[in-house]
Structure 1
Amino acid sequence: MDARLRITALLTTSALALTLAACGEDDTATDDPTPAGGTSAASEEPSASATPTASASASASPTEGDGGSGSDGGPETTVPVYFAGETPQGVRLYREFRRVSGDPLTEAAELLTTGDALDPDYRSLWPEGTFGSVSVQDGAFVAQVDDDSWSARGGLSANGARLAAQQLVYTLQGVEQQRLPVRVVDGSGTPVALFGIDGDITQAAPLEVLALVSVSGPEEGATVGDTFTAAGVASSFEATVPWQVRDGGGEVVLDGFATAEGWMDKLYPWESEVDVSRLDPGTYTFVAMTDDPSGGEGGGPTEDSKTIVVG
């Protein structure tokens, strides 16, 4: 075992990690309570072309804001939205926490379909369009479409279509914290295909479609003080999650590692306190990654990065 693990006690999980665990960490699921079976992503990389965001205390389930309000005057809610990003395993999904007003399901679905990700490394696989409504009915998430623009694959590869569908599955299940399938219907309520996929769509295995490491905090563009808590989820060799702080030229100016709660079978919470007090004020990049015992021979580590401003 890596010497770092022999000398380092398991890091205490943050409020985020505890909330993630409470919201669905079990023997078969990842950080959102989504079902174990479902439409599986193949190895083919999606052909279509968007950072999980939120403070380290953000929840995986919808939570009302601390007195903030949206443009419509209603309370804001924190929801997880899944976007696509590049990894050594091909295109995978990353979770970004967002604050929305109005109906959480509808607002989260709109962020997904428009590709409105804060992290510039993320995108949506969805072609242009919008849902008429999204709701929970008869044991399923029911997403109503107004036309047939999403019924066929279009420019998406077979795997791209599956992964785009998984964006919707993971997002809606993450918002509601319910293990329900997604059913797409037309205006009359009749089930229709989504990107050529017929029938109710359930979750693909997390380690097949999710990035093997992600950063939930700090959020993209966050201003940090002398210290901050970095947190996220990962499935990394021997539970080791290395991290770096890089300057504007890409040079590593600070590094360390976190120890996740586990590895191999699912994504586990990780957390690390980062002391940037010796750095000059300015813009930096915080990067978390999977440990790479192959030394880069296997395609290199999976990474997730967030731009931070040291004040």
Structure 2
Amino acid sequence: MNDQNPNEPFDELMRKALRDEADRIEPADALPEIRARAHSQRRPVARRPWLLTAGVAALGTAAAVGAFTVFNGGQNTANDGDAVAGPGTTATASGVPQSRTPSVTKASPSPVPATLPPTTSPAVKTAQPTDRGKPEQSVSSAVVPVYWLGQQAGVPKKSAARLYRTWSKVSGRPAEEAVRIMTTKQPQDPDYYSVWRGAAVNSVTRSDGVVTVDFKQLPKTTLDADLASVATQQLIYTVQGALADDSSAVQITQQGRAGQKLFGQVDTSAPLGRAQAADVQALVWITSPGEGSVTSGKVTVQGTANAFEATVNYQLTNLKTRETKTSFTSTKEGQKFSPFSFSVSLSPGPWQIEAYLISDADGSITNTDSKTILVK
């Protein structure tokens, strides 16, 4: 660059210098090197240095606020769903042998999204396959929880219901099959029921902390607000239990479209989270023996209850001779879901086992579960 004129404007000198430097460079295929450099510079978000630009920081803040708005509703949540009932089990809707432990792996506990949709819901949109995420892996065999409704005793409203869990053996995609059982099968226990008749599940997919349950057809039944809320939780508990994931919110869609009014009451335009177990789950249930079991004369009854002063009452009635046995037992802890058990010798014949809670205020029965067995 010795031939440059010092009187030329600075910009022109710079342009000449750049042209001279470019003439010395021999072009080469640098794409592999560029890709290698880019790959080596990738880091997880958590390891990024603190010197972020203002634009990136603002974007992160907006995303966090948006997520909080979608998943944080007015109702508290609890990470206490499938664990509260312990390892016991009841009879299954599909009539398979009872299993004490589900075959799916339990996810680590994590914060749970809001139970109810936010008061301001996003506009109804059509979800594309990429929005719904990836389908579950298909398995040859798994034991999954399926939740049903049961009438709550001691409550004047006929529509007062609680969730009761059973186990079912499935093959294929566990959560999808669990929903299919919940919507099309009859529970073996005649005290349980479902209001999801007429619904037809299409797929269950997962993406970014949201599980999308897409239906070909949602149930057309209109329920009162309280029963509709518990029935919605029936689906959420079943899906999360089958996935062993009680932290992911559940988006309900019909043919890929969100925003339908489920049971004429529940807004499905936003993902829904798990309600407190104490608000929707049966406060006492018998987990063993299962409905219709055939046993010997020495029977051990197991269950779980959220009982005042840890007291669970029970009565066993021989349905043929009307012989009765009445007493009570204790849960391991009071005022929270905790296991109980008792053993009793029974004469041959059909027996009904009832476990129930009594109100400390007026002595009335507030919650109950029953099983009918045959003693040989």
Q: TM-score, normalised by structure 2?
A: 0.59
What is the CA RMSD across the aligned residues, in angstroms? Answer: 2.8
Q: Which residue of 1 aligns with 2:210?
A: 140
1:102-181 alignment, distance < 5 Å: 102-147=172-217, 149-150=218-219, 154-178=221-245, 179-181=247-249
Q: 1:175 to 1:272 in 2, by over 3 A?
A: farther
Q: 1:185 to 1:56 in 2, by over 3 A?
A: closer
Q: Which one of the candidate residues 271, 276, 279 is aligned to 1:205?
A: 276
The residue type paired with residue 215 of structure 1 is I
Distance across 2 between alignment mates of 1:213 and 1:287: 10
* Native 8 Å contact 2:314 2:353 kept in 1: yes
2:374 counterpart of 1:309: yes
Q: Which residue of 2 aligns with 1:254?
A: 325
1:61-72 alignment, distance < 5 Å: 62=104
1:1-311 alignment, distance < 5 Å: 28-32=78-82, 52-53=90-91, 58-59=100-101, 62=104, 75-87=140-152, 88-89=154-155, 90-147=160-217, 149-150=218-219, 154-178=221-245, 179-187=247-255, 189-193=256-260, 195=262, 196-198=266-268, 199-248=270-319, 251=322, 253-264=324-335, 266-276=336-346, 279=347, 281-294=348-361, 296=363, 299-311=364-376
List runs of 5+ in structure 2 lacking aligned partners.
1-76, 106-138
List runs of 5+ in structure 1 lacking aligned partners.
1-26, 35-50, 64-73
Q: Which residue of 1 aligns with 2:55?
A: none
1:75 is displaced (CA, Å) by 4.9
* Native 8 Å contact 1:285 1:306 kept in 2: yes
Distance across 2 between alignment mates of 1:244 and 1:105: 36
SS of alignment partner, residue 290 of structure 1: strand
* Native 8 Å contact 1:79 1:108 kept in 2: yes
* Native 8 Å contact 1:241 1:290 kept in 2: yes
Count of residues in correspondence between the two structures: 249
The alignment-based identity, stated in percent, is: 31
The residue type paired with residue 231 of structure 2 is A
Deviates more, 1:166-175 or 1:132-141: 132-141
The residue type paired with residue 131 of structure 1 is V
1:211 is displaced (CA, Å) by 1.5
* Native 8 Å contact 1:84 1:93 kept in 2: yes
The residue type paired with residue 182 of structure 1 is V
1:202 is displaced (CA, Å) by 0.7
List per-residue Cα deviations over 1:245-278 (Å, max 9, x = no partner): 11116945223333212232x32222223332xx
Distance across 2 between alignment mates of 1:232 and 1:194: 36
1:172 is displaced (CA, Å) by 1.3
List per-residue Cα deviations over 1:25-49 (Å, max 9, x = no partner): xx94434269xxxxxxxxxxxxxxx
1:284 is displaced (CA, Å) by 0.7
* Native 8 Å contact 1:165 1:194 kept in 2: no
Q: TM-score, normalised by structure 1?
A: 0.71
List per-residue Cα deviations over 1:66-107 (Å, max 9, x = no partner): xxxxxxxx8543222111111124211111222233322112
1:53 is displaced (CA, Å) by 2.5
Distance across 1 between alignment mates of 2:261 and 2:285: 27
Q: 1:249 to 1:109 in 2, by over 3 A?
A: same
Distance across 1 between alignment mates of 2:103 and 2:259: 28
Q: 1:142 to 1:202 in 2, by over 3 A?
A: same
